[in-house]
Chains A and B, each alone.
Chain A
Amino acid sequence: MESFIHIIILSMLVTTAAAIVRVKDLFAVTMLAGIYGLLSASFFVLMDAHDVAFTEAAVGAGISTLLILTTLSMTGRFEKAAENPKSNYKPALALTLVTVTGALLIYGTQDMPAFGAADAPVQTHVVPRYLNDSATEIDIPNVVASVLASYRGYDTFGEVVVIFTAGIGVLALIMSTVSTAPVALRASMEEHVILRIVSKMLIPLILIFGLYVQFHGEYGPGGGFQAGVIFASAFFLYAMLFGLTAARKVVNSNWVQALAALGVLLYGSVGVLAMINGGNFLDYNFLAQDDVHGQHMGILFVELGVGITVASVMIIIFFTFSTHQQRDGEPD
């Protein structure tokens, strides 16, 4: 039965991707991309990767769809066919290139270990140590959280910095220099009473769920990355239904920018604190009297830093895009 679902989901992924190639209406393409994200999230659940599925469902099906739609409203809905006969686009050539590359890659897969093999190199290298020793060294049930925040804390710090930098990049590229939108545009969803009431009820639940994912991440699937995107989506929902002007009253953009930096700073400070206490950077064993307590504290604060930065950067990105769109004039 599981193999059956497995094959169905993968086939649906391929079908969706093939449909994206053919469709010229970019609105439909965006919706298909959202479906693609949701399907891959379901696939990740099937592969026991619940933490990943959480993230992909929030990001692939939610936030990325929203951002692309906002961009579309500024750039136009339809893709033009290249009508110029001398154009550089030669589908036949591209198709040949893609087929040859694909064939080579499939030939390469012959050397891969079979799917699900327990003796594959990827399962035997460092992972047994994480699975066997994390119970005594870190003592939290979710191994993904302990690898993310403790064993591979340096990596995660790097990723958080990348996310922060991308947020700054978006701000630098399209931040509106005009401080206020000239006319307070009516919220586009104002007349949809049911949507408004239902989301009003949903928003607090989404926020609480975000906090749950953040602080329960050591025991179940969850953690800063997932919580950040879920938390931010509540603000997106509010902004979409009640308009940007109303949302700006809730979220002060200066504060959010400060919070984005604060999250990175919190992560870094935990590392520096470990150094002050005589350990290496991000060595949580030195944070408290005994090692396990130190690990718990370190992971808690580091995940909190990740959550704050991810949520703030997502809010910054969305607000910057939407403000730009409003200032830029009406969708065409």
Chain B
Amino acid sequence: MEFLGLFNYWVVVVLMMIGFYIVICSNNLIKKLIGLTIFQTSVFIMYISMGKIEGGTAPILAEGVTLYSNPLTHVLILTAIVVGIATTALGLAIVVRIKESYGTVEEDEIHAKDKKA
């Protein structure tokens, strides 16, 4: 696995930037939220990649195993995933309310309505 080197982190950066691009460049609020999810997952991948030890195994203690991957990063990300879905749900609920008030979830149309008002 030597040659993998920093490959994981480069993929993380690429994914993060794709998510970032979707967030700043798409007009639709739902797509923005999906972009945020991609961004978020890239951070998860970074943490989990950092925790991996070459030749290690899952951090569940067993006889005859001496090398375990990092349990701490797993704990942090495992809770972050569930918190992430809860906050995404909150974001989606706000989108639903915006749709009811403005009749649209496209950002430029919302701005246009705001200007008229």
Interface residues of A (CB under 8 A from B): 2-3, 6-7, 10, 13-14, 17-18, 20-21, 26, 29-30, 33, 36-37, 40, 43-44, 47-52, 55-56, 59-60, 63-64, 67-68, 71-72, 74-76, 79-82, 84, 87-89, 91, 94-95, 97-99, 101-102, 105-106, 109-110, 112, 114-118, 120, 122-123, 126-127, 130-131, 134-135, 141-144, 147-148, 152, 155-156, 159, 162-163, 166-167, 169-170, 173-174, 219-221, 223, 225-226, 228-229, 310, 313-314, 317, 320-321, 324, 328
Contacts and interface: CB of A to CB of B under 8 A. Distances in A.
A141 B61 contact: yes
Contacts of B9: 106, 109, 112, 115
Given A116-B52, A148-B79, A72 B24 contact: no
B96 A71 contact: yes
Contacts of B22: 20-21
* Chain B residues touching A, range: 35 or more
B1 A2 contact: yes
Nearest to A324: B96
17 contacts: A3-B4, A20-B22, A76-B105, A79-B27, A81-B27, A82-B106, A94-B25, A98-B17, A102-B17, A105-B16, A106-B9, A114-B5, A116-B54, A142-B61, A159-B83, A166-B86, A223-B78
Given A26-B31, A127-B70, A170-B90, A50 B17 contact: no
B113 to A, nearest CB: 13
Contact of A95 (B21, B86, B111): B21
The majority secondary structure among interface residues of chain B is: helix
